[in-house]
Structure 1
Amino acid sequence: MPESEGTVLEQQEFIGREAVAAKRKQYFYPCTVHFYKNSPQLVRGSMQFVYDELGKEYTDFFAGVSVVACGHCNPAITSRTIAQLQQLQHTTTVYLTQPSVDLAERLAELLPGDLRRTFFVNSGSEANEGALLLARMHTGRKGFIALESGLHGRTNLTMSVTGLPMWRTDKYLDEDVAFIERAYQPGLTLEEAATQSLQSLERVLKEKGNTIAAMIVEPIQGNGGMIMPVSWYFREVKALLNQYGVLLIADEIQTGFGRTGVMFAMEHFDVVPDIISMAKALGNGVPVAAFATSDEIALSLNRPSASTFGGNPVSAATALAVLDYIRDEHLPERAAQLGDRLKAGLKSLQERYPVLIADVRGTGLMLGMELIGTGTSDAALLTDYVLEEMKDRGYLIGKNGINRNVLAFQPPLIITAADIDGMITVLNEVLLQASADVRK
């Protein structure tokens, strides 16, 4: 490699975290926020690690909310991205190119059941928007059913089916959406909550089933607090929907491509949805997304359409490299094994600090730890304290949940057992200090 190429980072002058924060405040919309009081300026990434402008290393346990599943700047992937970038950077779908059709073929081999037709777009929001449109086109109906506390995007229609209040920004959302209770309620067992949710679904279907195009769900609610229903829940949901000709859309934006220990999280429930949406990990940081369905349903989206950037040669070549890496490195199996290790470590902390930790839940490398405070705001403040302290000690973790009091553990799937054990040790130190503060 020529010296000029290998020393770009070393020669670059970083303006520093304070200057970056000031420019964000001056030029970004005020809705753009970040987690930390003292946020580092991240300037470099390498597999499970990122580095700030001062050279400090952080082990990433959030992966850009499940995006860089194969690791930051993974050379097995970036080398193929660069090669395609230098050969043919962009065309639209009105021209014939090979990477996108190769990617569609590979996805057909991986998708569950008879899902084999793919429409490529740029983001998870756009993928869900397309899936909802497809459901309307196929059924000739307008309405939707969604779960409380779900998150499906920030376009108008995807925001309309989003059940988390903090993400429902638009005051003029589509009103043809019926929200039902999710299969998780404090004070109920998962079985009781699932039964209650199904009863709610049945009431909606009896009242307006002939006006409903589809029900959209996350197999595991990520931003809703890492909520995973009991194994039989979605089978019963699908059976009820089938009675009324209502389609099931699985939003696998966060859960897809091995994170939960299987390629797609719906496999945990032995259910094949009618439409599936995907994004995030598929591009490992390069924008690429899609929604897929069966031959029969795909026939309903037949008016001329295109996506300017969807499935362009660079994103498609990158996604093919991602799928190769997931296969060659057995990342779903790795996520299942290391997820068990991480969950056991988090459970041990729950036993040690019951005054601080209400629950540990999720599967694979998509886990959440719900924290307790004397009130809702106190729990959120405790969560922010843990995030800040862990960052200062070299670990980046996320947060989610209705009350923003759930620690989110979604590391790259190439994380190691040693990384997990080290993080648990440091998290124990932080919780020990927090526990001492609570006793005071």
Structure 2
Amino acid sequence: MQRLLVRRLSSVTTQGRRGCSSSRSTAAEINGGADAVVPEIPPFDYAPPRYDGPRAAEILRKRSEYLSPSMFYFYKKPLNIVDGKMQYLFDQDGRRYLDAFAGIATVCCGHCHPDVVDAVVRQTSRLQHSTVVYLNHAIADFAEALASKLPGDLKVVFFTNSGTEANELALLITRLYTGCHDIVSVRNAYHGNAAGTMGTTAQYNWKFNVMQSGVHHAMNPDPYRGAFGPDGEKYARDVQEIIEFGTSGQVAGFISESIQGVGGVVELAPGYLPAVYESIRKAGGLCIADEVQSGFARTGSHFWGFEAHGIVPDIVTMAKGIGNGIPLGAVVTTPEIAQVLTRRNYFNTFGGNPVCTAGGLAVLRVLEKENLQHNALLVGSYLKGRLKALQQKHEIIGDVRGRGMMLGVELVTDRKQKTPARTEISHAMDQMKDMGVLVGKGGFYGNVFRITPPLCFTKEDADFFTEVMDIALSKL
């Protein structure tokens, strides 16, 4: 465990020895001028090139004038991030931050991983785009490698550009194959913000008042806030009752995340998915596993989140970690189910783009070569243990959950009432940012730290992260 350094916080950001970027914080930012115990960010042998581009204020001005007013920001003073290397990000002044959010669980191998960059550059120099009406080996090679990671007969791949697109396509396939329209989703879920996926998303924060037909939302099998605690089979009865009382008795399918991401890193109660899959299949439906956030080794114990539940879906959707930041998504299903799209023409101009799929194949190879799934399990378990220890120290931590490098820490002002600590988490995030740590937040109430770092995270990073969080929570 790294050693805490006691410092008078009067220094500003400096460049560390040997070209390593080292983080310091001002007294005003952290502790109003008082002495404090502050951890030092782990050493890292990389210094970004000097940044001479627009400053944060100018970028904010342009965004407010030319980009969507619906965009929101973390932090009172939004960061201008200009460089990234592995598990670290750098701002406009060259200050280094530990990235514990990874662009919303997206950067799995590490920022600007040289193998991924090299694959993308090499493919870009040869052929950027051709569409799938011509032959190109990049899409076929990646599809073959991806299929090898899935169980059973899941081996036909449709490439998309995002997780939303992947889930939209999965819903279409499900309805076409079964001839039914009814979809069962889970409350607190997030599956995207297009027409169909917004229907399956089950938080009003992410839903507009537009037509969203044929979706039934079942009770959320949340072991922390749910009515039945960790009893998955009791929640599963609600799905059976939806089928019996809310449909004709036949359904198109069921869609669920293995671990709810936007919903606050909620693990589904044990026994839930096997029981639900049985009910759905008896009603003629297909089962969709949304692996957009929990896939690609993030959970550590398995390559796919659904594997921890002992089930095999009919359709798997994926994005985010699939490309380490490249706009890429995919739907994988069986040859029989895939045939439904031959009834008409199905086409995606950029799905399977050679540059994206070359990058995706490089990601798979890096995950294997660097054994990042094992690292996610090892370091993720260590980090979760340290967070559990913080829970014993800080009453404001109501729950610590998740697995591997998909972890959640829920803040509450009252443990018995589980009152969401919405304001407090924003204050803590600002404090952590000032000390050199970037972390996400989510959950229906916006009171859950979403900890989803690149899978190259180290134990030293985990120590630094928890020590910074400890200080931030102590100041609430």
- Structure 1 length-normalised TM: 0.93
Residue pair 2:157, 2:332 contacting (<8 A) in 1 also? yes
Residue 333 of structure 1: aligned partner: 374
Displacement of 1:164: 1.2
Alignment of 1:312-331 (within 5 A): 312-331=353-372
Displacement of 1:12: 5.1
Displacement of 1:28: 1.3
SS at match of 2:347: coil
Q: 1:358 aligns with which of 398, 401, 409?
A: 398
Residue pair 1:121, 1:289 contacting (<8 A) in 2 also? yes
- The one-letter code sitting in structure 1 at the alignment partner of 2:464 is G
Q: 1:45 aligns with which of 84, 98, 105?
A: 84
Displacement of 1:222: 0.7
Q: 1:13 aligns with which of 52, 65, 72?
A: 52
Greater helix share, 1 or 2? 1
- The one-letter code sitting in structure 2 at the alignment partner of 1:176 is G
Q: Residues 209 and 294 (structure 1 numbering): CA distance in 2 closer, same or farther, change over 3 Å?
A: farther
Displacement of 1:335: 0.7
Q: Report the count of equivalent residues.
A: 423
SS at match of 1:299: helix
In the aligned structure 1, how far is the partner of 2:53 from the partner of 2:71? 21
Q: 1:369 aligns with which of 382, 385, 409?
A: 409
Q: Residues 209 and 239 (structure 1 numbering): CA distance in 2 closer, same or farther, change over 3 Å?
A: farther
Deviates more, 1:328-337 or 1:270-279: 328-337
- The one-letter code sitting in structure 2 at the alignment partner of 1:186 is R
Give the share of equivalent positions with the same residue, in percent.
37
Residue 4 of structure 1: aligned partner: none
Residue pair 2:87, 2:111 contacting (<8 A) in 1 also? yes
Q: 1:402 aligns with which of 431, 444, 447?
A: 444
Mind listing any 5+ residue stretches in structure 1 that lack a counterpart?
Answer: 1-8, 435-440
Q: 2:312 aligns with which of 272, 294, 305?
A: 272
SS at match of 1:59: strand
Structure 1 vs Structure 2 CA RMSD: 1.5
Displacement of 1:373: 2.5
Mapped pair 1:222 → 2:258: no
Mapped pair 1:135 → 2:177: no
Residue 74 of structure 2: aligned partner: 35
Displacement of 1:269: 0.5
SS at match of 2:475: helix
In the aligned structure 1, how far is the partner of 2:309 from the partner of 2:175? 25
Displacement of 1:27: 1.2
Residue 381 of structure 1: aligned partner: 423
Displacement of 1:136: 0.8
Displacement of 1:39: 1.4
In the aligned structure 2, how far is the partner of 1:279 from the partner of 1:59? 23
Mapped pair 1:174 → 2:212: yes
Residue pair 1:235, 1:269 contacting (<8 A) in 2 also? yes
Displacement of 1:10: 4.3
In the aligned structure 1, how far is the partner of 2:225 from the partner of 2:261? 17
SS at match of 2:399: strand
Spell out, residue by residue over 1:240-287, the C-alpha distance to the aligned partner (whole angstroms, 9 max, x if none): 111111111111000110000111000101101010000001110111
Residue 96 of structure 2: aligned partner: 57
In the aligned structure 2, how far is the partner of 1:108 from the partner of 1:154? 27
SS at match of 1:200: helix
Displacement of 1:122: 0.3
SS at match of 1:199: helix
Mind listing any 5+ residue stretches in structure 2 that lack a counterpart?
Answer: 1-47
In the aligned structure 2, how far is the partner of 1:11 from the partner of 1:40? 16
In the aligned structure 1, how far is the partner of 2:354 from the partner of 2:196? 28
- Structure 2 length-normalised TM: 0.86
Displacement of 1:16: 1.1
Residue pair 2:267, 2:402 contacting (<8 A) in 1 also? yes
In the aligned structure 1, how far is the partner of 2:410 from the partner of 2:71? 25
Residue 139 of structure 2: aligned partner: 100
- The one-letter code sitting in structure 2 at the alignment partner of 1:411 is P
Alignment of 1:113-128 (within 5 A): 113-128=152-167
Residue 437 of structure 1: aligned partner: none
Residue 233 of structure 1: aligned partner: 272
Residue pair 1:275, 1:293 contacting (<8 A) in 2 also? yes
Spell out, residue by residue over 1:25-83, the C-alpha distance to the aligned partner (whole angstroms, 9 max, x if none): 11111110111101110000000001000111001000001111100000011011100
Mapped pair 1:200 → 2:238: yes
Residue pair 1:254, 1:279 contacting (<8 A) in 2 also? yes
Displacement of 1:376: 8.8
Residue 183 of structure 1: aligned partner: 221
Residue pair 1:209, 1:244 contacting (<8 A) in 2 also? no
In the aligned structure 2, how far is the partner of 1:376 from the partner of 1:33? 26
In the aligned structure 1, how far is the partner of 2:287 from the partner of 2:250? 14
SS at match of 1:29: coil
Residue pair 2:253, 2:287 contacting (<8 A) in 1 also? yes
In the aligned structure 1, how far is the partner of 2:257 from the partner of 2:226? 22
Mapped pair 1:287 → 2:314: no
SS at match of 1:373: strand
Spell out, residue by residue over 1:149-200, the C-alpha distance to the aligned partner (whole angstroms, 9 max, x if none): 100001111001100110112x1232211111011162655333x2332121
- The one-letter code sitting in structure 1 at the alignment partner of 2:412 is I
Residue 431 of structure 1: aligned partner: 473
- The one-letter code sitting in structure 2 at the alignment partner of 1:397 is V
Q: Residues 98 and 181 (structure 1 numbering): CA distance in 2 closer, same or farther, change over 3 Å?
A: same
- The one-letter code sitting in structure 2 at the alignment partner of 1:248 is C
- The one-letter code sitting in structure 2 at the alignment partner of 1:203 is E
Residue 110 of structure 1: aligned partner: 149
Spell out, residue by residue over 1:409-433, the C-alpha distance to the aligned partner (whole angstroms, 9 max, x if none): 0000001110111111111111111
Residue 155 of structure 1: aligned partner: 194
Displacement of 1:112: 2.1
Residue pair 2:105, 2:320 contacting (<8 A) in 1 also? yes
Displacement of 1:211: 4.4
Residue pair 2:274, 2:309 contacting (<8 A) in 1 also? yes
Q: Residues 378 and 298 (structure 1 numbering): CA distance in 2 closer, same or farther, change over 3 Å?
A: closer
Residue pair 1:376, 1:403 contacting (<8 A) in 2 also? no
| Stretches of 4+ aligned residues off by more than 4 angstroms | 9-12, 374-378
In the aligned structure 2, how far is the partner of 1:11 from the partner of 1:369? 36
Displacement of 1:298: 0.9
